[in-house]
Structure 1
């Protein structure tokens, strides 16, 4: 039985939160991409494993030389033997989802963009809000006339690029390393009402390419939950990122969608300034919401009770082999599980509320068999809860009506907790809270800055497992506490209307070895930093007016 903790990202996205192919990439950078640890992932015959693939989790008192590397290498070996294509580079942490600004063409799904520029966009663009989003600016660019003709016909193209760079100058197990990746998303939305007269129908398609990667082991080199966990692991160059049929009815109050997608596009919207800053490892690892660029068969249905209130439910397959899939597989190459999700959302915007707010409560249940990290006891299924909230609390103009991008101070908080104290992942709770300053200067209405406090708590049995692994690796004893803390400063800076740069820096305390348990020393507390640059070529060229 293997415990899989490797994967990729994030751009869980949302410009408020939903990912376009690029958003997906950004989300990748933001989220955790650990494969779901599951008993269902049948391990192939031991003879098929390479020499360095050791058992995933040794029993209590047994020889525990496998270590954190085995969580990655062992998983790869099993998947490779099961018929998936494994990369030669060890899997690292995951990519998270990057916040992105939503785009609204024929549907209320936002396209993936980097960062969450404003609270209002969060409320307007995010799936779950019935209010349509108007174009940001008049169409501009050398291909504006072609873009308008395509839009009028029923096609809104997506063509974006995200470049990410992550570095750990002084935190974790192996300091002084960095990781770099390039994501390119191509696709678009097909308005079937314009194209074929099918009222309320839209086909969404996006293909993601990863032409350049450097040091995919970065997340494992840091080896903790808060700093190294966002390190993307993307062994394949090309991924299907979205291919669904969306149907609306009853004046758009009812909205359902089926096909190949990622549940992070519709549930647990990041509310922090950068999506990768508050993406929970519990959701992608324990709940089985595979990292954003990895899609599975699934569907969801949402009903808008009012323009502000909505309820939604969905189910997706959760594939433990996701790092080695490309999204075009018809069936899973290894046994997988189902993840069931349900949420209730309340969101307002500057159109109706001088102090917009966004709140989401979500429950999850995954059918995968769980393995206790310390005792190796098993049980069926795991569940938990997510809450995210964000609200404008202060405006220098006193809440003047009609302002589209006012200077505003927002507070946000997010928390994810498991109801299963003996889940495979060993994570009990993760969370983040902080302040966001939006449009600090009227000359720069799309910039935002944020200061946040982050934490991650391990289960008691995971803590005992890490102690066991430390001794087995030759250490003198694991003295790090169960709860890791981090203080983070980040920003979204609009260089132009089509280019957003999102830097961040975080200081950690109580840095743990959750991502790489086979470490004999004590990981360093210190600084980790990164930057994502998002280039929206579709907007730059005039192919879209959003």
Structure 2
């Protein structure tokens, strides 16, 4: 069967509806009577993902109660090599995202590190419209268009950190987006990303993206690709090493600079430019001799942002993830992590000065918010993952300057491939 425009309306309908008749092994919505696999062979691939995250604060924080948030992502990938029957014609990616729900951190705990990684930007939006192909040599890959820079930079490619539900782990060090024009999914901007592979183990990634703060979290800008008010350009540079022999590993060293002007914290003066740097690692340190899939991974993150203009100056995390914790559960995971988020001392000084000016006492707070998280990923079906989760938040008011008791939060994450 040759490719044809008649596929598009039929496939869009299939992507949005959840048929009850039969489910394929890998997706909830199945193969659409064979249409989905035929379209994929012809160069049109539809994808969809749902995540729902429920949290309940059992102790400390602001109050005992529960909150739920969800994320729905629908995408279509056009393989132009197949569709145009041409060599190296490239790939076009279109992605739409919708988020709904309530904020567990803001409503229940009062902390900075979001308990639910899928909370924020509660509206339907365009999250990617990009074109990608190799250029001059197979080792040079170029991608340009409207996209989140965090899709390709700033996080671990292995995805190991999304065995957790807290946004402090799953995704990217939060001080990147908290103190510069860096954008993580689902916030997207116009930009270009280049990857050059020196060999299978080493790769250099460089990008440039428009900085448009007025569009962040703005539902009226949900479908606008061009910036509303461009303040500058953010340029990240990242060196990647992947250990391919023996126990696998991934290591990243990155630096970024945002040319936008920003107010110096605690002053009316402006700072010309903001930047930061980071180190990320994921290394398998043990593998069972009699069970190939049972491996223990150690991960780590360290990131620092501009001390003049970023309210979130440093982030550190480390932890372990055990894959296949039981012989009978080959796709399950057990994860334990610790994170430490350091507020900018300038922000603390401003909070203290404001309290004293109003005749109020300023609480004796620790110098960082800390997080311990334990989760178990249960692969219920090939397309459904259930993740019971426990988070303990220490010094929840470290960023707000409030005296809040440590909080113990239990939760459940549900992920489904549509």
CA distance in 2, matches of 1:139, 1:209: 18
Name 1:441's counterpart in structure 2. 326
Give 1:131-280 correspondences, 5 Å limit: 141-143=30-32, 145-172=34-61, 174-200=62-88, 201-210=90-99, 212-213=100-101, 215-216=102-103, 218-219=105-106, 222-226=109-113, 230=117, 232-236=119-123, 238-249=124-135, 252-270=138-156, 271-272=160-161, 273-274=163-164, 276-278=167-169, 279-280=172-173
Indicate conservation of the 8 Å contact 2:334/2:375, yes or no.
Answer: yes
Name 1:331's counterpart in structure 2. 226
Shift of 1:274: 2.8
Shift of 1:304: 1.1
Indicate conservation of the 8 Å contact 2:206/2:236, yes or no.
Answer: yes
Residues 166-212 of structure 1, C-alpha deviations (whole Å, 9 max, x = no match): 3433343x2224332232222211000000134330001111123x4
**2:241 paired residue among 331, 335, 346:** 346
Shift of 1:335: 4.3
CA distance in 2, matches of 1:280, 1:199: 38
Name 1:457's counterpart in structure 2. 342
Indicate conservation of the 8 Å contact 1:290/1:319, yes or no.
Answer: no
Shift of 1:378: 2.0
**1:289 paired residue among 182, 207, 213:** 182
Give 1:345-384 correspondences, 5 Å limit: 345-348=240-243, 352-384=244-276
Name 1:396's counterpart in structure 2. 288
Indicate conservation of the 8 Å contact 2:205/2:237, yes or no.
Answer: yes
Unaligned ranges ≥5, structure 2:
1-24
Inter-CA distance 153–305: structure 2 relative to 1 (3 Å threshold): same
Is 1:498 the counterpart of 2:383? The answer is yes
Give 1:300-339 correspondences, 5 Å limit: 300-321=193-214, 322-325=216-219, 326-339=221-234
Shift of 1:513: 4.4
CA distance in 2, matches of 1:145, 1:434: 42
CA distance in 1, matches of 2:385, 2:28: 18
Unaligned ranges ≥5, structure 1:
1-135, 538-546
Name 1:18's counterpart in structure 2. none
Name 2:21's counterpart in structure 1. none
- Higher percent of residues as strand: 2
User: What is the TM-score normalised by the length of structure 1?
Assistant: 0.65
Shift of 1:142: 4.8
Indicate conservation of the 8 Å contact 2:318/2:337, yes or no.
Answer: yes
User: What is the TM-score normalised by the length of structure 2?
Assistant: 0.84
Indicate conservation of the 8 Å contact 1:227/1:528, yes or no.
Answer: no
Is 1:531 the counterpart of 2:412? The answer is yes
